[in-house]
């Protein structure tokens, strides 16, 4: 009996040592690249957007996810929902305010009802390229526009470019302003884009991005305007005949969060998430020009559409024709803001 009792005590002691060792080994797995994870809040963060995976927006969102999960040692989980899987154009802002999602990356044109400054990307021929647009939104006037959303409980964190827009349609080549007369185009929405197209004699309608391919296929609209990367990733060229490289307006996104979520973070957690925002912004900005260039090559290779690049003379004709847009909307947006954008 005594020997059995000794064996039992030995086994019990061995079990306790093994259990303590296992617990100690588990704690070492919690270290992050930035050090101890003590004090980092355990969270699940949702990022929602409406475009495809092979876009600058999605690549930026994935970079955010990778950085935040790595630096938090896995304590913060990030779920990315592309292609309107979680929310679409019409309801993502309201769900952000309600904290049903923690980050959205909407097209700025979708925010003009909340703040007219987000009409800037829709002002025709305002920026020469991505660098000028980035400089504006990173500058004081761009940041001022972001801050105006705080009245809704929303925080603007960073501008992510997609790039200049091109026009596609099913009816005819577009080389001069009068070629748009009588056509109907899908736009992202907003009064500036409505004014732009009406000035050229065309109609415009706002259709959710996720429904646009079908609308083009069925002839609900004659055409649309978008970046090369959006046109190619959503295969719009399959259901269009003509593409004009206009570079007239832009698609620019803003990374948004809500104050309820942001204010719930302690400093250590917020620092990690802010680092993720910076990492995502860097990738999104680097990828925008590259993906647009690659997308143009794919569209050319596909051969579904005939591509016309505006000459400098043709572009100047459009500039002159669209001056009424500036006459009407400069006072609404703010002359100081327009002047700052033009100075870039």
Give the model's confidence band at 134: pLDDT under 50 very low, under 70 low, under 90 confident, else very high. Answer: very high
Give the model's confidence band at 271: pLDDT under 50 very low, under 70 low, under 90 confident, else very high. Answer: very high
Question: What's the pLDDT at 35?
Answer: 59
Question: What's the pLDDT at 65?
Answer: 98
Structure confidence by residue, pLDDT tens digits, 62-104 = 999 999 999 999 999 999 999 999 999 889 999 999 999 999 9
All domains in the chain, ordered by first residue = 43-342 (3.40.190.170)
Arithmetic mean of pLDDT over the chain: 90
CB 166 within 8 A of CB 243: yes
Look up residue 101 and give its DSSP letter: S
Q: Is the pLDDT of residue 190 over 90?
A: no
The number of C-alpha atoms within 13 Å of 223 and in the hemisphere containing its C-beta is 26
How large is the average pLDDT for residues 314-335?
Answer: 97
How large is the average pLDDT for residues 179-183?
Answer: 98
Alpha carbon of 46 to those of 65, 81, 100, 164, 254: distances in Å? 10, 8, 8, 28, 16
Higher per-residue pLDDT: 120 or 289: 120
Calpha distance 78→66 (Å, rounded): 8
């Amino acid at each position: 009996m005594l020997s059995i009792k000794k064996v039992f005590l030995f086994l019990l002691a061995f079990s306790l040592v093994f259990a303590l060792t296992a617990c100690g080994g588990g704690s070492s797995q919690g270290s992050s690249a930035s050090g101890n994870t003590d004090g980092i809040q355990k969270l699940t963060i949702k990022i929602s957007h409406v475009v495809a995976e092979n876009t600058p927006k999605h690549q930026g969102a994935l970079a955010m996810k990778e950085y935040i999960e790595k630096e938090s040692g896995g304590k913060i989980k990030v779920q990315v929902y592309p292609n309107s899987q979680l929310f679409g154009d019409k309801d993502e802002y309201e769900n952000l305010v309600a904290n049903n999602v923690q980050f959205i990356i909407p097209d700025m044109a979708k925010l003009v009802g909340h703040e007219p400054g987000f009409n800037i990307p829709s002002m025709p021929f305002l920026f020469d390229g991505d660098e000028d647009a980035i400089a504006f939104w990173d500058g004081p006037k761009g940041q001022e526009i972001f801050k105006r959303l705080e009245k809704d409980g929303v925080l603007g964190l960073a501008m992510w470019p997609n790039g200049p827009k091109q026009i596609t349609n099913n009816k005819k080549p577009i080389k001069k302003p009068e070629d748009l007369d009588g056509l109907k185009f899908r736009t992202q929405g907003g009064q500036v884009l409505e004014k732009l197209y009406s000035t050229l004699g065309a109609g415009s309608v706002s259709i959710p991005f996720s429904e646009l391919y079908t609308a083009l296929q069925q002839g609900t609209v004659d055409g649309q305007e978008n970046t090369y990367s959006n046109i190619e990733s959503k295969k719009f060229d399959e259901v269009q005949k003509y593409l004009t490289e206009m570079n007239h307006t832009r698609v620019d996104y803003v990374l948004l969060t809500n104050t309820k979520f942001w204010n719930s973070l302690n400093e250590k957690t917020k620092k990690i998430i802010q680092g993720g925002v910076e990492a995502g912004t860097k990738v999104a900005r680097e990828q925008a020009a590259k993906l647009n260039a690659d997308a143009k090559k794919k569209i050319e290779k596909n051969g579904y559409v005939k591509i016309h690049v505006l000459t400098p003379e043709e572009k100047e004709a459009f500039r002159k024709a669209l001056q009424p847009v500036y006459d009407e909307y400069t006072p609404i947006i703010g002359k100081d803001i327009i002047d700052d954008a033009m100075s870039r």
